[in-house]
């Protein structure tokens, strides 16, 4: 069978963009870690291989079959978050992972995929637009993992769980009065939220507002990241030539701050290319969200596109000092198997939506 027929119905712009990001991730994690860890890039290559296999295989499964079992998948996801509380592995003061021997998984990451398909299941049922019942149901199914993730504590991931749900509700025709009410409620409750933040979370916010006030503690990550990105200038210092990461000035240079490593070694031009790829990826998914007629497929596209765009924006913004440090990955580029597999599942089901739409349109035309 020819490759063209094997992958017929796949969107080449989405597929090739993601594969490029995965390959680029392995290259840059090698540079960011080889002076300290000898095999992390090999692990990332393994995660990337799994991700690419998901991208190639999952689209051949009708996404509606996956959406139909989403309540069961959601239950497993919530139970895994509860398991973290009792049997989780603590790393750097946070209990977010479950150890499975040779590797660990982060259930809160997988909940991003689970919430997208479960919300699509709720909002896509029936012919009516988003009504009060659907809104409350979607809010509850998002609220449970949100609060369980907050307890780990992981504010960044908890917030990103809500992003696709909020966008999907908006696309579904949520009343403007309700939207304004939610915004006002959020503003009014901000003092209560502030009082219940952990001390380190408060310090991250104050460090973002005034980083020079505590340059060696709470603002250290932001300042070192800005130095790394700025020192790359137009064309960068060159592959394996980054001094901020190689001399251990830049923390988490292969996870949350991988974009700072890229900016230092490859400069403004290639960093801008990365931004452009994320923009193309998100807008292309939105394009299909507009074209697809099936409600569940439409919701999946808008949920996936919004999550990728917003999470990429927040991560990059925090590396250049335009957002507080919240500890979220850069999709497909940051080191980590849970993040890689999760976003591969998200893109894989988007490609399934597109493929089913193309096949059915061809069949009925």
pLDDT in tens, 102-131: 788 999 999 999 999 999 999 988 766 788
CA distance 91 to 100: 15
- Which residue, among 297, 274, 290, has the nearest Cα to 355 in the 3D structure? 297
pLDDT of residue 206: 77
pLDDT of residue 364: 53
- Which residue, among 196, 130, 127, has the nearest Cα to 165 in the 3D structure? 130
* pLDDT of 365 above 70: no
- Which residue, among 173, 41, 48, 63, has the nearest Cα to 121 in the 3D structure? 63
Q: What is the pTM of this model?
A: 0.93
Per mean pLDDT, which range of 173-187, 274-288, 343-357 is the poorest?
A: 173-187
pLDDT of residue 363: 54
For 154-191, the pLDDT digits (tens) are: 888 999 999 999 999 999 887 777 777 877 877 777 77
CB atoms within 10 A of CB 192: 8
pLDDT of residue 168: 95
pLDDT of residue 155: 86
H or E segment to which residue 192 belongs? helix 190-195
For 14-26, the pLDDT digits (tens) are: 999 999 999 999 9
pLDDT of residue 213: 64
Per mean pLDDT, which range of 29-38, 127-136, 352-361 is the poorest?
A: 127-136
CA distances from 152 to 8, 191, 221, 244, 294 (A): 43, 21, 21, 30, 37
For 196-253, the pLDDT digits (tens) are: 677 777 777 877 776 766 666 667 878 888 888 888 899 989 888 888 877 777 888 8
Is the Cβ–Cβ distance between 55 and 15 less than 8 Å? yes
Q: Which two tokens stand for residue 236?
A: 């960068």
Buried b (16+ CB within 10 A) or exposed e, 94-127: ebbbbeeeeebbbbbbbbbbbbbbbbbbbbbeee
pLDDT of residue 197: 74
CA distance 20 to 26: 10
Strand ranges for 9-113 from DSSP E:
89-91, 94-99, 104-105
For 73-93, the pLDDT digits (tens) are: 999 999 999 999 888 787 766
Is the Cβ–Cβ distance between 34 and 245 less than 8 Å? no
Instruction: Over range 317-323, report the average pLDDT.
Output: 89
Q: Is 5 exposed, middle or buried (0-12, 13-18, 19+ CB in 10 A)?
A: exposed
Is the Cβ–Cβ distance between 223 and 211 less than 8 Å? yes
């Amino acid at each position: 069978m020819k490759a063209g027929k094997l992958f017929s119905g796949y969107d080449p712009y989405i597929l090739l963009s993601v594969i490029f990001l995965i390959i680029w991730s392995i290259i840059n994690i090698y540079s960011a870690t080889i002076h300290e860890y000898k095999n992390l890039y090999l692990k990332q290559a393994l995660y990337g291989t799994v991700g690419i296999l998901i991208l190639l295989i999952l689209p051949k499964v009708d996404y509606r079959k996956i959406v139909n079992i989403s309540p069961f998948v959601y239950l497993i996801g919530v139970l895994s978050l509860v398991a973290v509380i009792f049997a989780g592995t603590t790393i750097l003061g946070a209990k977010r992972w479950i150890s499975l021997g040779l590797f660990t998984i982060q259930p809160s990451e997988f909940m991003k995929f689970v919430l997208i398909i479960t919300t699509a299941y709720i909002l896509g049922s029936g012919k009516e637009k988003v009504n009060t019942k659907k809104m409350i149901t979607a809010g509850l199914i998002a609220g449970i993992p949100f609060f369980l993730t907050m307890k780990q504590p992981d504010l960044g991931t908890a917030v990103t769980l809500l992003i696709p749900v909020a966008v999907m509700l908006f696309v579904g025709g949520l009343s403007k009065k309700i939207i304004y009410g939610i915004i006002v409620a959020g503003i009014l409750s901000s003092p209560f939220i502030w009082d219940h933040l952990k001390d380190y979370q408060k310090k991250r916010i104050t460090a973002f507002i005034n980083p020079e006030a505590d340059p060696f503690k709470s603002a250290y990550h932001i300042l070192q990241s800005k130095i790394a990105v700025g020192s790359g200038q137009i064309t960068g210092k060159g592959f394996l030539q980054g001094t901020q990461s190689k001399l251990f000035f830049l923390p988490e240079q292969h996870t949350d701050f991988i974009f700072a490593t890229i900016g230092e070694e490859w400069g403004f031009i290639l960093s801008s290319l990365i931004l452009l790829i994320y923009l193309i990826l998100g807008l292309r998914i939105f394009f299909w969200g507009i074209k697809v007629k099936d409600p569940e497929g439409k919701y999946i596209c808008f949920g996936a596109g919004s999550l990728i765009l917003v999470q990429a924006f927040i991560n990059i913004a925090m590396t250049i000092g335009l957002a507080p440090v919240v500890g979220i990955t850069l999709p497909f580029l940051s080191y980590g198997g849970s993040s890689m597999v999760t976003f591969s599942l998200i893109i894989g089901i988007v490609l399934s939506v597109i493929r089913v739409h193309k096949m059915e349109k061809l069949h009925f035309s």
